[in-house]
Structure formats: C-alpha cells, structure tokens
Structure 1
Amino acid sequence: MSSPPLARPPESMRPDRMEVMTPIGAGAFLDVEPGVRLECLVGAHNGTRGLTTGLVTIAPSTALSYHTHTFAESITLLKGRAIAAVEGREYVLEPLDNVVIPRGPAHQVRNLSDTEPAILHVALASDAPTRTIVDDTFPRIAMPDEANGLAGAERFNRFRTAERFAAGPNTAFIDFFNETLMPGLEMSGGYGLFLPGGRLPAHVHDFDESISIIDGDALCIVEGRRHPMRDATALQPRGRVHYFINESDEPMAMIWVYAGPSPIRIVVDESCATVEGNPWREGATR
C-alpha cells in the first residue's frame, strides 16, 4: 500500500536552482573523437550535480574507442544499428535497447551501418566525466539475443521483452538500472511511455533528474510553470515539485535518469505543483 502524499516537501529539500529545458540542438557539443560527437543536454554547463546526459552521434562505419570510466554509464540506442561491447562481449542493439556499465569495465560502441549514423542516449554518473582509452585486446564474443548481461559487470535490457509497470494512469515504465538491479550503482533510470492522458503525480526527488523526451509531445509542470517539450531534455534540480503529462492525442515517451541509486519519487499534494501552492514561494508556510 502506497503512502499518502505529503502536504509539502521536507524543508531540507528546499531547491537552490531552477529547472532547465534544453531542446535538441541547443546543448553543449563535444567532438569526442573522429566521427563521434556528444551533445550534452544535462551536465555541469547548466548546473547539474552528479549527472551528465546527452546524445552521442556515431558516423557510419565508425567505432567509439574502447575506454573505461570511474563511474557508471548507461547507453540506449535511439536510432540506427549498433553493437555495444563490454570487454569483448558484444550485444547487438535494437531501438531502445539499453546497456549499463558500472565503473571499471572497458567498453565501446560500433555503428553497424555504412550509410546512416547511429544515435544513442547516454547517461554518466558524474558531472565532470572523463574517460581512459584502452587497447582493444578482447576476444569477440557474440552474446545471445536473450542475454541480460554478466553478473557483477554489465546489465543488458532488451526493450521488447523488458518488464513494464504503471507509474501513473495510462503509463508503462521500465526500470533499466538502479542499485537493486546492480548493487553499488550510483544512479538509476529507465524508460517511460505516456499514452494520451497519461501522467505522473506531483513529486520531488532528493537528487537531480534528467528527462529526455524521445517521442511525442510532453507537458512538464514545475510549481505552476508550464513547459511544452518535444525533442528536448529537462533538468529537474533536487527539490523542485514537478510532474509530466501527455495532453496530446498521440503517445509520448521519455528516458529518465536520477543522480541517485534508487528511483524514489516523493509524492506531494497536487497543490504544490501550482503557482498558488508552490511550497518554495516567498511567504509560503513552512
């Protein structure tokens, strides 16, 4: 049985930053290596803490070099054909398949097409991400279609067979990664489908969140501020009261990532998501 909504968020979660909406094409660009470009949509450049997310475009017949991180990374194929490899274990990605690599293991991504780019959503559990290039000395192992990763190392989520659950009316969510699924992981995230009329309750988090709208039209409500979103990513700082709703006649989909290990939403009274009921407004009762 779920707990009743809180009348207001805890005072200890009072936010110190505003939300940021970044359309695709308006992010911070970085040429990672020849033929590989990152558009950072949530990160240190817009005040995010503990998290970086964005889109990586890999040119036809190009591979992102094998590398390691000191933090976890999530990779989700949005468009094209690609292989994600972790120390030689190769996963052929279909659209919206997801691979999560904890800190340490070497990994790479290769574009299988010689004519079309591959576009991937990436999330890194750091606001100052770095990488260390390593030699590709790993024997190639083609992982079976039903593989779900390697215990203690990577997790592989096949989108078409992943378990769904309702996070609100007319929604279907998938948990791709969190500390329950991958002990020791620093972040959590997944996929959310909103059918027409689908929405989440008003809520807050005790950490920053990135929400990338990858299909359809979304409306993001933050303390009464209304942000229509299409092909865009939202930064929701810790403590901001918000929710998403699909007011269109078509499905809407998102990839969400929390800068915290568990996907915890603290549900609050719906009035907190209005201008009049904003718990952080000047003069609001504490």
Structure 2
Amino acid sequence: MVNDTSGSVHTGLSMSELAPNGTLSPHVHSYEEGFYILAGRAIVSIENRSYLLGPGDFGALKVGTPHAWRNAGGEPVRWLQMAAPQPKPAGQGRDTFFLKDGSIPTDATPLDPANVQGHLLGHFDVGQIPRGDEGRMTGGLQGVFLKWMIDEKLGARHHRMLFIEYQPGVSIGLHDHTFEESYFILSGEVEATLDDRTYLAKPGNVLWTGVGCVHAFANVGKAPVRWLETFSPQPPAENVFRFAAEWEQRAQELEGH
C-alpha cells in the first residue's frame, strides 16, 4: 500500500491475508516488522514460542527474529503490516530469508500480554477506549484519543504504530515532520489536507505523508473517526511537530510585522 513506488523511502506498509489452513514458513527479515490483526485468528511463532492471536493483538518483530504464521480458524486472517527500514524494491537485493527445515506448530494458547517472555506483543481494541476525557489529549488536541502500541517503550527501534480517535468536530492544524507517516482508516471519515490538496478518507483508505509534507486532519462527520498510524523512522526526542501557524506567528513577532 505504501512503498518506494509511492515515493516513500522509509515506509513499507502492506495488508497481509492468510486463507484457512494457510501458512507462512519460518523466516527472518533484515528489517523490523510491526503488525496489527484486523480479522481472523493466527498462530504466530516467534523464535521458540507460539501465540494464538486475534483481532486487536499487535506486535513488533525485531530485525533478524525468526517467525512464522498459521491460520488458526475457518476464515481468512488479515493484518496490517509495517516494515522499517523499507524493504528493498524487487530485484535490488534480498531482505527475507527462510529457515531450513522450519516447522509451524498447530496449536498455541491465546496471547496473555503479561506473559510474552520478552517478545514485543500486546493488545488494544476499540472496547478499551475510555469514556469521557480519561486518556484523551489536552490543550490544542482536546477530543483526541491516542494509544501508543509499537514504540521505543515496547522495544521497537525503527518505527512506531499507534491507534488514533478524533471525536466529531476535532481537527489538527497544518504541520509537518522529520519522518514519514501512514494512516489506515478503520472507521468513520476524516478530511485530510496533504500539501494543499484535500481528500475525504473512509474505512479501508490509506494516506501517506513524506518528510516535510504539510498536512492537517479534521473530523467533519457526526461519528468518531479511528485509524492506525505509523511513523518511520522513529521521531526525534524534540520538535516532533512543526506547526505552520506557530511559526508564522513567531515570524511576525521576530520581524515586527
């Protein structure tokens, strides 16, 4: 969905699906991989341990970590997948390597986020969004709920993945970043302005902003809008946002206009 053909140099965003009885043999990547399960159930083997994962479960696989997938149900399992650094374009070198004589277990226990033995796994779904103002951002972003899922605290080193909700009427002004972002709309609608062009994004739509792309978002509908968002590379410790309005105001103060 987002790769070098999109103009990106840092993001590898894709949708993966395994049919019933489908498997993905044990392998490793020379990039970090994050995932969020949208539908279905899968047995995911990471190194020497296996987990039964379902909707709302997420994880990050560090560079070089052996892993494998098996569909564990009667319906397709589908997940959003993020790779960083960006996988190499076709024909420009290998970055995925399959293990010799690898096997995938046929059963596993459901994920317990409190018992993952150092693996980078967790769970978050819409039912965990707090009511009222609890857990919501304040100041200029009131009405925004943000849940960090994959980040430095979890143990990822090349990307972040987060869950965002904007209540009706909520917006964020024009700004840009030193990193790329991608957005996969889960529910609701959002008006997105990207470098002076405006789009109405709906469930299943994907947006992407490159470094320096000036963008803004507004929930112009009557229902909350929710999406999964990725950052790559990970943001700096300071000056994560550069808001156009703030710098215009500062310019006026400095230049005496």
Do they superpose with TM above 0.5? yes
Give TM-score, length-normalised by structure 2.
Answer: 0.78
When residues 137 and 60 of structure 1 are mapped into structure 2, their CA distance, relative to the original with a 3 A threshold, is: closer
Residue 166 (structure 1) aligns with: 137
SS in 1 for 2:85: coil
RMSD: 2.7
More divergent stretch after superposition (87-96 vs 142-151): 142-151
Structure 2 Cα separation of the partners of residues 180 and 119 of structure 1: 26
Q: Does 1:193 align with 2:170?
A: no
Residue 62 (structure 2) aligns with: 102
Is the contact between residue 84 and residue 99 of structure 1 (CA under 8 Å) also seen in structure 2? no
Residue 247 (structure 1) aligns with: 220
Residue 114 (structure 2) aligns with: 147
Residue 3 (structure 2) aligns with: 43
Report the identity percentage.
23
Structure 1 Cα separation of the partners of residues 146 and 82 of structure 2: 18
Residue 156 (structure 1) aligns with: 121
Residue 15 (structure 2) aligns with: 55
SS in 1 for 2:137: coil
Structure 2 Cα separation of the partners of residues 143 and 112 of structure 1: 11
Structure 2 Cα separation of the partners of residues 92 and 195 of structure 1: 33
SS in 1 for 2:5: helix
Structure 1 Cα separation of the partners of residues 172 and 26 of structure 2: 38
For each residue in 1:117-173, what CA deviation from the matched residue of structure 2 results, as whole angstroms up to 9, or x when unmatched? 11110000033343111143577764652336333xx31121146995538222211
Within-5 A mapping of 1:16-27: none
Within-5 A mapping of 1:184-223: 185-223=157-195
More divergent stretch after superposition (156-165 vs 235-244): 156-165
Structure 2 Cα separation of the partners of residues 64 and 165 of structure 1: 38
How far off its partner does 1:48 sit? Answer: 0.6
Residue 19 (structure 1) aligns with: none
Give TM-score, length-normalised by structure 1.
Answer: 0.71
For each residue in 1:193-227, what CA deviation from the matched residue of structure 2 results, as whole angstroms up to 9, or x when unmatched? 22222333432110221111122212111243211
More divergent stretch after superposition (85-94 vs 98-107): 85-94
Within-5 A mapping of 1:266-285: 266-270=241-245
Structure 2 Cα separation of the partners of residues 220 and 166 of structure 1: 20
SS in 2 for 1:200: strand
SS in 2 for 1:45: helix
How far off its partner does 1:94 sit? Answer: 3.0
Q: Give, as a single letter, the amino acid of the residue that structure 2 aligns with 1:122.
A: Q
SS in 2 for 1:244: strand
Is the contact between residue 189 and residue 221 of structure 2 (CA under 8 Å) also seen in structure 1? yes
Structure 1 Cα separation of the partners of residues 201 and 61 of structure 2: 29
Q: Does 1:122 align with 2:89?
A: no
When residues 193 and 149 of structure 1 are mapped into structure 2, their CA distance, relative to the original with a 3 A threshold, is: farther
Structure 2 Cα separation of the partners of residues 258 and 73 of structure 1: 12
Q: Does 1:265 align with 2:225?
A: no
Structure 2 Cα separation of the partners of residues 188 and 65 of structure 1: 26
Is the contact between residue 176 and residue 212 of structure 2 (CA under 8 Å) also seen in structure 1? yes
> Larger relative CO (CA 8 A, sep 6+): 1 or 2?
1
